[in-house]
Amino acid sequence: MATQSSYRFSFGPWNISEGADPFGPEVRPAFPHESKYALFKPMGFDGVQFHDDDVVPDLANISHAQIMDKATKVGLMLRNQGLVPEFVAPRLWFAEQTVDGGYTSNSASDRAYAWERTQRTVDIARAVGSKAIVLWLAREGSYIREAKDARLAYQRLLELVNKVLSYDKGIEIWIEPKPNEPTDLAYVPTTGHAVALAYASQDHTRVKTVIESAHAILAGLDPSDEMAFALSHNKLGSVHLNDQNGLKYDQDKNFGAANLRAAFNQVLVLDDAGYGKNGEFVGLDVKTFRTQKGSPITAHLKASRELFLILLDKVRSYDRKLVEQYREARDYEALELYTLKHLLGAK
């Protein structure tokens, strides 16, 4: 039996999907968005991650008053089901105005669109009852370095962060770094970049990060070290736990599925830091296999949550005295063997 903990878990509606990828058709029928909310609680999830148009579909074609009305209703529906909206993120990568990025586009009208949409996202977050927006800077980057003035792009990103902080004096901005995909060279590829942007802003206490395991791996970094870095600066707004098998397309595998030991180290860093005690969620960003039959598929969400809790048991039964002895003796061979045996349950 896994440890019962007070951790709260979240995922986003996009984690239950039709299974399409760029090289094939949808393999599962669409499962209505509104029916997804009922799946959260029975699986042990309390938090919902949102994009702006997950909360308010068709937001481009309705008035601001209608957007606010819909967001308020969704907030009420969530509260009635005992669910919490963790964050709302502007989906800045499907509009024709953001093909070459929004905040960092060379086009002034594209940048204006991105800013408008970000203000709406803050409004939606407020109306639905969330204190944070997430900026995953999907298309802010380039395919060839000569395409944009990178220094100017970073200045524009800082300007944007400051504009959001002024627009709403209470909202938090959580930046989700990712080094590539869909762009080749993404701006803000690592936690370090996000934290630097936070400190450069006019109110750094409201600018944090979301660290996704796979994004760190794609940057060639260890996810638990990225988390430790953010935690040491009190800047871990949330996590998107998942896994990634090397430097390939963004896989969003189940947490622990590619590298159990790295997953153990993420849980270790989080639990040791008391992550979650200030209401932070253990967020997942996982996808089931394209080949998986059925609809809706939720097995990957259940599996990743269960894996987290099993690893939490491993973290809490990890013999810290022994670890300390091995560290003092600088006997990392012994430390490694003990750690692997502990994970395998071997004597």
Chain positions contacting Mg ion, by CB under 5 A: 212, 240, 285
**Is residue 110 a contact point for ligand 3MF (CB under 6 A)?**
no
Q: Could you say which of 71, 78, 83, 89 contacts ligand 3MF (CB under 6 A)?
A: 89
Q: What is the torsion angle, in degrees rounded to the nearest 10, for the CA atoms of residue 55, residue 60, residue 62 and residue 65? A: 60
Least distance in angstroms from the C-beta of 320 to ligand 3MF: 33
Using the minimum distance from each CB to Mg ion, give the nearer residue, 127 or 132: 132
β-partners of residue 48 are 11, 85
d(CA 119, CA 116): 5
d(CA 22, CA 146): 27
DSSP state, residue 17: -
Respond yes or no: is residue 54 known to be catalytic: yes
Respond yes or no: is residue 225 known to be catalytic: no
Going by C-alpha positions, the residue among 293, 337, 344 that lies closest to residue 27 is 293
Binding residues for ligand 3MF, rule CB under 6 A, total 10
**Is residue 140 a contact point for ligand 3MF (CB under 6 A)?**
no
Cα-based angle 335, 338, 344 (whole degrees, multiple of 5): 140
β-partners of residue 175 are 135, 209
Quick one: tokens of 88? 């709302």
Using the minimum distance from each CB to Mg ion, give the nearer residue, 54 or 285: 285
Using the minimum distance from each CB to ligand 3MF, give the nearer residue, 110 or 285: 285
d(CA 242, CA 285): 6
Q: Are 270 and 284 in contact (CB under 8 A)?
A: no
Least distance in angstroms from the C-beta of 285 to Mg ion: 4
**Is residue 14 a contact point for ligand 3MF (CB under 6 A)?**
yes
Q: Could you say which of 54, 86, 176, 280 contacts ligand 3MF (CB under 6 A)?
A: 176
Least distance in angstroms from the C-beta of 184 to ligand 3MF: 15
Binding mask 262-301 for ligand 3MF (x = CB under 6 A): -----------------------x----------------
Quick one: tokens of 298? 């939720």
Interacting residues with ligand 3MF between 187 and 216 (CB under 6 A): 212
Q: Which of 52, 54, 110, 243 is catalytic?
A: 54
Q: In this structure, is the dihedral angle defined by the CA atoms of residues 142, 179, 302 and 19, taken in order, positive or negative?
A: positive
C-alpha atoms less than 13 angstroms from C-alpha of 94 in its C-beta half-sphere? 9
Q: Could you say which of 125, 134, 258, 260 contacts ligand 3MF (CB under 6 A)?
A: 134
State the DSSP H helix or E strand holding residue 186, giving kind and residue range, or none if neither.
strand 185-186
Using the minimum distance from each CB to ligand 3MF, give the nearer residue, 300 or 314: 300
Contacting positions for ligand 3MF (CB under 6 A):
14, 89, 134, 136, 176, 178, 212, 240, 250, 285
Residues with catalytic annotation?
Answer: 51, 54
